[in-house]
Amino acid sequence: MNDEPHAEELLRAVERFLERDVVPNLQGVPRFHARVAANVVAMVAREIETEAEHQAGEWERLGALLDEAGALPDGREARRQALRARNATLVDRIRAGAADGGEVRRRVLAHLRRTVDDKMAVSRPPRQRE
Amino acid sequence: MALAAVRVEGLCRLAGGASREIWAFGAEIDGPGGTRVYDLVMRRDPPGRDDEGSRDLEFRVVRAAGEAGVPVPQVHWCCTDPAVLGTTFYVMDRVDGEALPRRLLRDARYEKTRAVLTGQLGAILARIHAVDPDQPALAGLSDATAGTVSSALAEIDRVSEGIRGLAAEPHPTLTLAERWLRARAPEGSRRALVHGDYRVGNVLFDEDGARAILDWELCKIGDPVEDLGWLCARPWRFGSPLPVGGVGTREALVDAYVAAGGAPVDPAHLRFWEAMASYKVALVWIQQSWVYRSGRVPSLELAALGRRTAEEEQALLDLMEEQA
């Protein structure tokens, strides 16, 4: 285990530095880019804080929807691949018309709503921050 | 004016127009009545990007729109001779005003503008759609209604192919939206001159309201409701709950449009084009992310834009759930 500060704490230090010390001292395009950099760094900090929970939730919901058993694998790339595979199956089912109506559509919409809400909690567009 | 002496002063490139160059300059022109000064704007393709006289077509469309009573900068002349500036360009009057939507939404000085803009944009759009798209002056306009497939279906095909080709991850929300859109694509439509990028960011405004409609480079012949849907889409609301550029309701927009002579608008037809707008913008974010990840442009701004896809997915879920 790495020593403190944790990764997200270090990123918040970078965010603060950019917001307080860099942005006010720049003008025009570089100022805009410094602000984008601060937003990106904060986004990554939020992703680190929520990723495990968001991925576990998405994995379980997809398993229930697709009627697939199995645990989310260990390892960053393996988790991404496993989620990508279940999402690809969901895309195939949607394309085949399985979510065009009825109870399945209701459940798919509820799942997608939750997934998009999670993504938005991480990306948090500027307007939601104000 | 052919033999008059002309002096160009204060030439400077203006911000905006990522794909087109916009230059402001003053022109002093000597004439029989003395010297007159004109504040002008020159718009051209960046050298090497002249797409077959499209600036010339844009010039003719802006002139036709102006003649039909649409507020546009008065255009003066268009030069297609590459010997002059390298690419086709045209010159128009400079219109003073603000174009930044965030200022429109926030600044106290635009309070009146916020109150009148929705009605003005509806009425202006009715005038754009009343322009005869088949007049000889507009020859060369692309006609989205000409194919054997409806223009809406052709557009869904184009966007979904783009998403499939460029997205690194599966996007089930966009797949669901694609099916929803296909089931609701209007079969036929009226044919009209469509602005193609009618949103608050392309409106020049001042404290009294709209001054000019800009950026006609995406104009075409198509379904007029597409312009109404695009104007209502989520990306141009900047966090406001009001769909029309963050300043007005769909009902106020459509009322003003119809009162100014626009054809009645079916709310489901409008919702289709509004969803289509979010679907298209989702592809734009995916494209930007792809451009960054492919290593073509190592830009922080592009890298950050990919994560905006979720905003369009949220907008599409809202529209699908309103009308399941």
Asked if B6-93 and B97-145+192-265 have one fold, the answer is no
A77 part of a folded domain: yes
Answer yes or no: are the C-beta atoms of B193 and B138 closer than 8 Å: yes
Answer yes or no: are the C-beta atoms of B56 and B78 closer than 8 Å: yes
Secondary structure element (H or E) that encloses residue B31, with its range: strand B21-31
Answer yes or no: are the C-beta atoms of B194 and B40 closer than 8 Å: no
DSSP letters spanning B232-245: H-GGGTTT-S-TBT
Secondary structure element (H or E) that encloses residue B35, with its range: strand B34-44
* Contact state of B310 with A116 under an 8 Å Cβ cutoff: yes
Nearest one of A82, A16, A81 to A45, comparing CA atoms: A16
- The minimal CB distance from A36 to the residues B173, B179, B304 is found for B304
**In the prediction, which pLDDT does A128 show?**
43
Give the residue from chain B lying closest to A101, CA to CA.
B324
Distance CA(B88)–CA(B43), nearest Å, equals 9
Nearest one of B207, B232, B239, B187 to B97, comparing CA atoms: B207
Distance CA(B142)–CA(B159), nearest Å, equals 18
Task: Give A-chain residues touching B179 at CB under 8 angstroms.
Answer: 94-95, 97, 99-100
| Residue A41 tokens, joined | 């760094």
A52 part of a folded domain: yes
Each domain of chain B, given as residue ranges in start order, spans 6-93, 97-145+192-265, 146-188+268-324
Distance CA(B146)–CA(B237), nearest Å, equals 32
**In the prediction, which pLDDT does B223 show?**
92
Instruction: Find the angle CA(B313)-CA(B314)-CA(B320) to the nearest 5 degrees.
Output: 85
Residue B206: exposure state from Cβ atoms within 10 A (0-12, 13-18, ≥19):
middle
Superfamily designation of domain B97-145+192-265 = Aminoglycoside phosphotransferase (APH), C-terminal lobe (3.90.1200.10)
| Residue B195 tokens, joined | 């602005």
pLDDT in single tens digits along all 324 residues of chain B: 455 688 888 888 876 655 678 888 888 888 888 888 888 988 887 776 656 557 888 899 999 999 999 999 998 888 888 778 878 888 898 888 988 888 999 999 999 999 999 999 999 999 999 999 999 999 989 888 887 677 889 899 999 999 999 998 999 999 999 999 999 998 877 889 999 999 999 999 999 999 999 999 899 999 999 999 999 999 899 889 999 999 999 999 999 999 999 999 999 999 999 999 999 999 999 999 999 999 888 889 889 999 999 999 999 999 999 865
**In the prediction, which pLDDT does B19 show?**
64
**In the prediction, which pLDDT does B255 show?**
98
A1 part of a folded domain: no
pTM (predicted TM-score): 0.90
Task: Give B-chain residues touching A109 at CB under 8 angstroms.
Answer: 176, 317, 320-321, 324
Q: Give the residue carrying structure tokens 């360009």.
A: B89
Count: domains in chain A: 1
* Contact state of A43 with B307 under an 8 Å Cβ cutoff: yes
Listed as ranges, residues in chain A with pLDDT below 50 are 128-130
Distance CA(A48)–CA(A52), nearest Å, equals 8
**In the prediction, which pLDDT does A130 show?**
36
* Contact state of B176 with A87 under an 8 Å Cβ cutoff: no
**In the prediction, which pLDDT does B1 show?**
47
Give the residue from chain B lying closest to A85, CA to CA.
B170
Range of A43's domain?
7-129
Task: Give A-chain residues touching B317 at CB under 8 angstroms.
Answer: 109, 112-113, 116
Q: Which CATH class is domain B6-93?
A: alpha beta
